[in-house]
Amino acid sequence: MTAWFPFLQTIMPAKLYRLVTVAFAATLALNVWAHPSLAADPFRTREPRNIGNKTEAAFKAIFQQGDYQAADRYLQDALSAEPNEPLAHAMKASIAYTNKDWATLDSYSKKTLEKAQNLISSDPLRGNLYAAVGVFLEGAVILQREGTVKGAPQALSRLRQVYQYLDKAEAVSANDPELNLLKGYMDLMLAVNLPFSNPEQAIERLEKNAGPQYLVDRGVALAYRDLKQYSQALEYANRALKATPDNPESFYLKAQILREQARKEKNSQLIKEAIDNFDKALTKKSQLPSDLVKQIERERRKAAENLSNPGN
């Protein structure tokens, strides 16, 4: 990963860092999807870590039910009962990023890094992994405070540190599911947006070593969506939706893919299916951040406008 930096510095670092910030914020959130049968660790079936029941409750709220409001309440309990778990602090920072609450993002990016560094001696894998998270979030704070032009050099410096921590985590356990989920999402977002990149390698990382499976499926669906390979994207989106049928964002992802496929194929039936999935997502809009609701509503309106002419 560190070999990328000379190349990254030549391709508009501010723009690149904005891209990776969005990718990483999404990954932070995706990292806390949980399966109810795995109380201690949603990622590993062997050598599980004790992440904490309160933190898990927040996981379930936001990524099984897609309920950001409940997740934020559960996180208050988690931060009190499990104050040394860096993932809880990272989750709080992730919600703050989604809500554009920059003061809270600043506070919890620092707390994420602090708790992660304290964890390194006892668990170097997760300690280094979430130290990368904390440093990356600090870079996002810099960009918001300084602006992309002035803040880009500092943010890029943080990006170097991110990969240094990730390399240390990978040296501990290269095949770890949690590590590969995080790095897989980051690699995919870079690969589908940078020239001369190979998204197939990022997809392979997810499918071979990341977990849990429904997060792998969602990540691969996102990759194929951005690569405009809509049939493959729809296949993986349906897998993710089957595993998380109560999450409105699962319907939203499927709706996006269907709309783009409809435009490509000039297929009005697919647009109707897209609108239906947008509507399913919006039935639970009270659970979602307001900016996300506005985005879904905007894309739903565009799909309806395209209904009479799916080629546009």
Phi, psi of 279 (to 5 degrees): -65, -40
Read off the pLDDT of residues 188-222 as tens digits, 9 standing for 90 and up: 877 776 666 678 888 998 999 998 888 889 999 99
* Rounded Cα distance, 161 and 241, in Å: 35
Question: Mean pLDDT throughout 44-73?
Answer: 85
Distance of CA 64 to the CA centre of its chain: 14
Other Cβ atoms closer than 10 A to 194: 16
* Residue 241 located in a structural domain: no
**pLDDT averaged over every residue in the chain:** 84
* Residue 158 located in a structural domain: yes
Residue 160 sits in which domain range?
2-197
* Residue 82 located in a structural domain: yes
Q: In this predicted structure, what is the pLDDT of residue 244?
A: 93
Question: Mean pLDDT throughout 115-143?
Answer: 93
Task: Give me the amino acid identity at 227.
Answer: L
The tally of CA atoms less than 13 A away on the side-chain side of residue 21 is 25
**Is the pLDDT at 302 greater than 60, yes or no?**
yes
pLDDT-based confidence at residue 51 (cuts at 50, 70, 90): confident
* Residue 167 located in a structural domain: yes
**Is the pLDDT at 38 greater than 60, yes or no?**
no
Read off the pLDDT of residues 149-168 as tens digits, 9 standing for 90 and up: 787 788 788 888 998 999 99
**Is the pLDDT at 311 greater than 70, yes or no?**
no
Structural domain tally of the chain? Answer: 1
Helix, strand, coil % over all residues of the chain, rounded to 5: 75, 0, 25
What sign results for the dihedral spanned by CA atoms 299, 300, 305, 308?
positive
Distance of CA 250 to the CA centre of its chain: 13
**Is the pLDDT at 55 greater than 90, yes or no?**
no
- DSSP type of residue 8: H
* Residue 165 located in a structural domain: yes
Question: Mean pLDDT throughout 62-69?
Answer: 86
CA distances from 113 to 58, 80, 85, 131 (A): 20, 17, 11, 5
**Is the pLDDT at 231 greater than 70, yes or no?**
yes
**Is the pLDDT at 182 greater than 90, yes or no?**
no
* Rounded Cα distance, 106 and 311, in Å: 44
Q: In this predicted structure, what is the pLDDT of residue 295?
A: 96
* Rounded Cα distance, 166 and 185, in Å: 13
**Is the pLDDT at 312 greater than 50, yes or no?**
yes
Give percent of the chain above pLDDT 90: 53
Of 21-25, 179-183, 218-222, 224-228, the one with minimum mean pLDDT is 21-25
Residues 6+ away with beta carbon under 8 Å from 295: none
* Residue 253 located in a structural domain: no
* Residue 244 located in a structural domain: no
Q: In this predicted structure, what is the pLDDT of residue 116?
A: 97
* Residue 78 located in a structural domain: yes
Q: In this predicted structure, what is the pLDDT of residue 269?
A: 94
- Alpha carbon distance, N-terminus to C-terminus of the chain: 39
Copy the structure tokens of residue 242.
């089957």
CA distances from 262 to 240, 274, 303, 306 (A): 21, 9, 10, 9
